[in-house]
Structure 1
Amino acid sequence: MKKNIKNWPLLLLSLLAISMISCKRNDGYNDPISKDKTKPAMVTNVKVDNYNGGAYITYDLPNSENVLYVVAKYQVRDGVSRETKSSYFSDTLNVVGFAKAREYTVSLYTVSLAEVMSDPVTVKVNPLTPVYSVVSSAVSITPDFGGVNVKALNPLKKEIGVVVTAFDPSTGRMEVQDQHYTDKDTIDYSLRGYPATARDFGVYITDKYGNISDTLKKSITPLFEEMLPKNIFSEYRLPLDTKLYTGQDWPVNHLWDGITDNSVSGWHTNSGNVPPFTCTFNVGATYKLSRFVIWERQNEFAYGFSNPRKFAIWGSNKAQPQDIQLPVTAPEGTVIGDWINLGNFVYPDPPSGLPPGAINAADRAFVAAGVGFNFSLSDPAIHFLRIAVATTWSGGDTAHIMELSFYGQPQ
């Protein structure tokens, strides 16, 4: 052991000298790694497995150490070419991005270490209907409050883009209004901010390969929508509503005072309760609701503490709706006594993808801006609302909300 320690400096110097020699600069690193210009042999035993918008091509490589990779060259639509490469250690190529379900020709080449290409092997592929076409075949655009609603199905859960256009009087053309990218199986979202006057709207589907479907065009008159005036709201306390926090003043009417920050200006229940945590109020008139925005408690409370994670909104159009124990969960449309479930809602996870306990500034800004949710067009008109929190981010025995804004059409 002592001998090894004594010789250690000498060993270090030796290693350093070796590394200096081995790390000599290579000015020709972009040159081919072989000077053998022999044309490589072609692939053989080619087989095709077609799928929606593409095909897997398998093959046998030539028995040669001079092959670096295999490349497929093909056109996905008129005038647009693509190529896909696969290393020597694979026997499969994925050719993708085809615009239609028809026959295409793909040329396969082996490429040598000196970047010499073999003669081509041509193969026919017949991709199934591309995903963007599958989605566009069932897309719909219909009137919604303050705009339009777009629905479609994406059963293969592949990445597609939904693009909404509308006539712009200032340019005299159809202009892109929104681009919505998703890989979800169900597409159902609304684009708002339009007056209740007829306008031409359109929707088309695209994919990441630049394929674009035909545009579905319709003249649509958005439904009239306004924010419910909060100055006519009032608490309608029911005996079974959850008791309020007693440490400070957190009454139900703080839900519509216009203050969304972390001051003591929201609704907060007392401890020692079990879900659902409920409160009830009168919106002052009869409305068919379209949507709402919720502001949860911010900053260090964001995605934590007693902020709601899962909650429901119940409504009633009775003159004096009676109290009844609401369930923790119930399907939308469930009627219990004088109350109907208008929807079950889940507060979204942090947009950053970080866990709730490790959110970043963008996540906190998302909470501070308020989060919007839609009501179903089939929901009945209401005069009273009841919030029922089923689960909070902490899973504790209290709930708090800073502010709510509701939108809809007066009846």
Structure 2
Amino acid sequence: MSGCSGDEGPAGPEPPVIEDYVITPINGGGIATYSIPDSEEVMYVMAEYERNGKKCVERSSVYSNTIRMEGFATTDPVTVAFYTVSRNGVRSEPVVKTFEPLTAPLYLVRQTLSMVTDFGGVSVFWENRFNTEVGVAFLVKDENGEFRDNEYRFSRLEEVKETFRGFEAEEATFGACLIDNWGNTSDTLELTTTPYYETMSKKPFSRVRLPGDVVSDTWAFSNVCNGTWHTSINTNSDAWLSGSKFGNGHMFTIDLGERMKMSRVVLYPRLRTASEPFGSINVRNFEVWGTSALKTEMLSGHDYYWQDIPEFDEPEEGGDPVAKEHWKNDWQCLGEFEIVKPDVPEGANQQEIFLAACGAGFSFDFPIDAEPIHYIRFVVRRTWSGAGSHPDIYPPRALNDYFMLSELSMYGDNTVPQK
């Protein structure tokens, strides 16, 4: 039936109204529960109300007895009209109810928002315990003192850190405000600061083969630091594949060629299929260690010093084993990291999301107070196929326990004093 002027509308008797209705306030909204009349004529229940000045309608089938109303920016009273609707589209008489939403999640999350100076920009932090998506609008003041949108990012995580880079080491004013899925925005947090200087470490890297490091390569190590990375499928020439099993070479060491205060590392996985970045023998868990100088006196005749697991001298009778010297006692740990597979929303293109994530690389920040280093050592703990270097932590595979990377980039400040 058309909706032309003069139509009388749906025909038929009015369905009975809902019963036993209650609205429970929640943060930013309310949840209505009710009893559906025992009538075959009722097709669904609908609720009409205004949210932030706009008319909204929610519908729920007879197979549910709840309606969720969200997105309110204030705690002002909300008036809701509930209707049952018949199979012919006839509405019942309205049942009108008023409730007061609790404070919206956006404004409670805003209380946790903070921003700090970082390498090449700033980092923004917030906490979100509401299991709802919250975004940040990152702003930068222009030469006229006006904030301009720079970038938007969204997350459902409980603890969020978003870093915005690409800025010179010059004073600037940055802003961050939170947004939600209903168009509500918080006030803006401002920070005037000078980002720390950041540059990419020179490529190609110089490889240092220490005892315990990967002893052979299936594909050349130079592929991992040649400055290229492709989203093309099955490109062997732009990836490094180790040639040793775990337990006999799952570490590798790099000479940066200069002393740097490191800020982060970015890993790019190898693509053999669209889903392979999160499968096969691409790196999943790893550690990063750094030092300003190698203990050269331990390079010859002291292989035990360089192994992943410390060794112990035989104890004297009645005594405890004594740990031998070990490189991890002399190096600083820059972090233990895991590559996390991106979420794929329902209906989204998985391949596009995976390729976009891999194209951006997986970036891992180092502690801001880490000391400058000259050498950096990676300890691969697990691949996506499950191969692990610690059987008690990461279950090993029996065969072909190799690992691979397509590209590796490291960043930091190379203007620190060179010793």
Structure 1 residue 281 corresponds to structure 2 residue 254: yes
8 Å CA contact retained: 2:105, 2:130: yes
- State the partner residue of 1:237: 209
Residues 249-288 of structure 1 mapped to structure 2, 5 A cutoff: 250-251=220-221, 255-260=224-229, 262-264=235-237, 267-274=240-247, 277-288=250-261
Structure 1 residue 153 corresponds to structure 2 residue 127: yes
- State the partner residue of 1:86: 60
- State the partner residue of 2:333: 341
After superposition, the Cα gap between the structure-2 partners of 1:60 and 1:157, relative to the gap in structure 1 and judged at 3 Å, is closer
Aligned length: 370
Two-structure CA RMSD over aligned residues (Å): 3.4
After superposition, the Cα gap between the structure-2 partners of 1:111 and 1:221, relative to the gap in structure 1 and judged at 3 Å, is same
SS in 1 for 2:109: helix
SS in 1 for 2:30: strand
- State the partner residue of 1:6: none
- State the partner residue of 1:296: 269
Residues 11-22 of structure 1 mapped to structure 2, 5 A cutoff: none
Give the stretch that moved more between structures: 175-184 or 63-72: 63-72
How far apart, CA to CA, are the structure 2 residues paired with 1:104 and 1:350? 38
How far apart, CA to CA, are the structure 2 residues paired with 1:67 and 1:138? 46
Structure 1 residue 324 corresponds to structure 2 residue 297: no
Give the stretch that moved more between structures: 294-303 or 274-283: 294-303
Unmatched runs of 5 consecutive residues or more in structure 2: 299-304, 311-326, 388-399
8 Å CA contact retained: 1:324, 1:337: no
SS in 1 for 2:306: coil
8 Å CA contact retained: 2:288, 2:335: yes
How far apart, CA to CA, are the structure 2 residues paired with 1:88 and 1:132? 32
Structure 1 residue 35 corresponds to structure 2 residue 8: no
Deviations 1:152-195 (A, max 9, x none): 011122112221111133x7631111111111111112011111
Unmatched runs of 5 consecutive residues or more in structure 1: 1-26, 329-334
How far apart, CA to CA, are the structure 1 residues paired with 2:308 and 2:284? 18
Give the stretch that moved more between structures: 255-264 or 219-228: 255-264
Aligned residues with identical type, % of pairs = 31
The TM-score normalised by the length of structure 1 is 0.78
Structure 1 residue 409 corresponds to structure 2 residue 413: yes
How far apart, CA to CA, are the structure 1 residues paired with 2:33 and 2:295? 71
How far apart, CA to CA, are the structure 1 residues paired with 2:65 and 2:374? 66
Structure 1 residue 398 corresponds to structure 2 residue 372: no
Structure 1 residue 120 corresponds to structure 2 residue 99: no
After TM superposition, give the deviation of residue 362 of structure 1 in Å. Answer: 6.2
8 Å CA contact retained: 1:242, 1:273: no
How far apart, CA to CA, are the structure 2 residues paired with 1:192 and 1:309? 25
Amino acid at match of 1:236: V
8 Å CA contact retained: 2:281, 2:404: yes
- State the partner residue of 1:14: none
After superposition, the Cα gap between the structure-2 partners of 1:92 and 1:273, relative to the gap in structure 1 and judged at 3 Å, is closer
Amino acid at match of 1:403: E
8 Å CA contact retained: 1:32, 1:113: no
8 Å CA contact retained: 2:81, 2:95: yes
